[in-house]
Structure 1
Amino acid sequence: MSRTTPGRRSVTRALSGLALALLSVVAGGLAACGGQDPAPGPASSRSATASASPPAGQAGETKLHMIDNGGHRLAFYVTRGNGSTIVLDSGGGEYSTQWKDIASELHAATGATIITYDRSGLGKSDVVPGPWKVEGAVSDLKAGLDQLGVAKDVTLVSHSQAGEIANYFAKDHPKMLSGAVLIDANLPQFFTDQEIPRLVAATQPEVDAAKKDPEKPENRQLIATAEGFAAAHKAFHGVKWPDAVPVTVMVSEKTPFAASPEGAQRWRDAAAAFVKVAPNRTLVTAAGTSHEIPTDRPDLVLKAVEDLYASHH
């Protein structure tokens, strides 16, 4: 399949997060653009923990833990290691499988515990009715870490829409983080009063189409993320990353706005502005990549995470 879909797909991800991959499903582009495995349905078991690989005690084993947060369950996948933890948080509409080419290699390279998870309504995690709210996503991540016994020394690796979760999580729980890698991520500096209306207008045709069949899962997700987008991102624009938490910001060469030179430049400028705030922030351009850096060039992601991890271990 041609690579004509990713530009539109990536713009929508930057806009509404969960809407991106789901719109690509409608366009028939998910397999070509994201490389994702088919999403399993919501888990039906009420057990707290289910084995996702070999029996407990084997090196490099990954286990599925079903975490309860306020009555809905979320699927967390854990490969146990030493006392430090690397959390891989997927881009909008992506599942934990986004990290299939990265997680095991990170575990082998660092010895750290590796955690991936499916956000609500995706993969094995339960659907949460109503509009998608970043505060709920932060609460889900924090509940998962709490119930898994993770309280400190976390390296957070966040792609695209997960950058919003990372910024709020860092603001609320800075002492839990030893560092972060933000991969072509949504950053507060991008969502200005001028940019937000442009983004809302760009996605409105897809939202209107989705409302004609609101029970379809991908449409439900799109509608949920579009509701209240402007107000939510006006608030996001004011979020401040804590100065004490080091961060590497990786920007794709093409950006989510490959078809718009002006939009692409605003995306790059926002990343540069974010990095300039503190001396412990590093800007990296991932040469030759689209917005899908984790699948385009997992080696670059591995290097960025390993370098940041080594700097504080």
Structure 2
Amino acid sequence: MSRTTPNRRSVNRALSALALLVVAAGAVTACSDHDSTAKHSTSASASASASTSGSASASASASSGTSQAGQAKLHMIDNGGHRLAFYVTQGNGSTIVLDSGGGNDASYWNDLVPKLHAATGATIVTYDRSGLGKSDVVAGPWKVQDAVSDLTTGLQQLGITKNVTLVSHSQAGEIATYFAEQNPKMLSGAVLVDANLPQLFTDAETARLYAFDQPEVAAAKKNPDTPQNRQLISTAESFVATSKAYHKATWPDAVPATVIVSEKTPFDGSPEDAQRWRDAAASFVKAGPHRTLVTAKGSSHEVPKDRPDLVLKEIESMVAAQH
């Protein structure tokens, strides 16, 4: 099986695929491609003005950011002793939550937030998962249920409990699946952008991915303090058990979902794995009602960067369908 040599862009792609433990070479020396401290305050500067949707508890937790309409405001949320950075661009009615893939913080969505806010008028929420951006590092293996707890707690403390459209890229597909299982009434729909889906993680594929990336994990341990390497290491520690459990997870029939699959997939250079990725997406869509499959023509795994027009269109359609 041949694989392409990953360039700098594939660093985030590797981690985005749940550190899918795919094409992770190069992650071992990488620094973040996004400056989370400098960009968040301007991520929605072009958006229209709107009213607040946060609760009093959210306002009390805000530690910095701006209060001008149409700009993202930073809220530091505590969950079990660690703090998480949530960025809220206020809007009316529904809420759109954007969840980044592995190795990426909330700034991954900076280009899309103002366009999405202007197009829908909805409240837009992005956040830094633990260990990324402004959020605290949580030691130990990566646990998807902890990530679900972080997202759930953050939204609850922001006073967001219904009419949520969840947009999840890559690794965030796992968080989305468990979040939807546990909070189906909170969600009005989801857009899963080249996301990790349960159907992919058979025992054979899990073992294949884990074995392939062990050299990169070993190299990451020599430089463990960058956010990407730290996440790669923590994900590897729990990868097999997490993947086996995830393979059994199911998406609730009550929550509509649009699945956007990239044409090139995270496995560009490995036709066998690329086909398994596509097959997983197709199987997911066939497994329940109210699910749609869309192919991002010409796109790499980084669909929000390569085809932002398509991502924007599908989110708009999902939001509009719920009204």
TM-score by length of 2: 0.86
Aligned-partner Cα distance in 2 for 1:212–1:4 = 20
Note the C-alpha offset of 1:193. Answer: 1.1
Q: Tell me the residue number matched to 1:14.
A: 17
Q: State how 1:254-269 maps to structure 2 within 5 Å.
A: 254-269=264-279
Tell me how far 1:129 sits from its aligned partner: 0.7
C-alpha contact (below 8 Å) 1:9/1:21 kept by paired residues: no
Counterpart Cα distance in 1 of 2:91 and 2:211: 45
5 Å-filtered alignment, 1:155-174, equals 155-174=165-184
Compared with structure 1, are the counterparts of its residues 4 and 22 closer, same or farther at alpha carbon in structure 2 (3 Å cutoff)? closer
Name the residue aligned to 1:110.
Answer: 120
- For residues 236-247 of structure 1, the aligned pairs below 5 Å read 236-247=246-257
Distance in structure 2 (CA, Å) of the matches to 1:284 and 1:250: 5
Residues 80-119 of structure 1 mapped to structure 2, 5 A cutoff: 80-119=90-129
Q: Helix, strand or coil for the counterpart of 2:167?
A: strand
Residues 1:184 and 2:181 are matched in the alignment: no
- Provide the aligned C-alpha RMSD in A: 2.3
Q: Which of 119, 143, 151 lines up with 1:141 in the alignment?
A: 151
Distance in 1 between residues matched to 2:228 and 2:284, nearest whole Å? 32
- 2:71 and 2:131 map into 1 onto residues whose CA distance is 25
Give distance in 2, aligned partners of 1:103 and 1:86: 10
Asked if 2 retains the 8 angstrom alpha-carbon contact of 1:210 and 1:222, the reply is yes
Partner of 2:212: 202
The corresponding residue for 2:42 is none
What stretches of structure 2 of length at least 5 have no aligned partner?
39-59
Pick from 161, 169, 173 the counterpart of residue 151 of structure 1: 161
Give the Cα–Cα distance (whole angstroms) in 2 for the partners of residues 147 and 298 of structure 1.
Answer: 30
Q: Give the whole-Å Cα distance in 1 for the aligned partners of 2:250 and 2:276.
A: 19
Identity across matched positions, percent? 64
Which residue is 1:298 aligned to? 308
Amino acid at match of 1:16: A
8 Å CA contact 2:62, 2:76 repeated in 1: yes
Q: CA deviation at 1:160?
A: 0.3
1:50 to 44, 56, 63: 63
Aligned AA (1:283): L
Q: Which of 112, 121, 124 matches 2:134?
A: 124
Q: Scaled by the length of structure 1, what TM-score is found?
A: 0.89
Question: Which amino acid letter does the alignment assign opposite residue 82 of structure 2?
Answer: H
Structure 1 runs not aligned, ≥5 long: 42-46
User: Do the aligned residues in 2 keep the contact of 1:21 with 1:92 (CA within 8 Å)?
Assistant: no
* C-alpha contact (below 8 Å) 2:77/2:154 kept by paired residues: yes
Supply the distance in 2 between the matched residues of 1:277 and 1:245 (Cα, whole angstroms): 13
One of 239, 251, 255 as aligned partner of 1:229: 239
Matched length: 298
Distance 2:241 2:204 in 1: 13
Contact 1:158 1:181 (8 Å CA) reproduced: yes
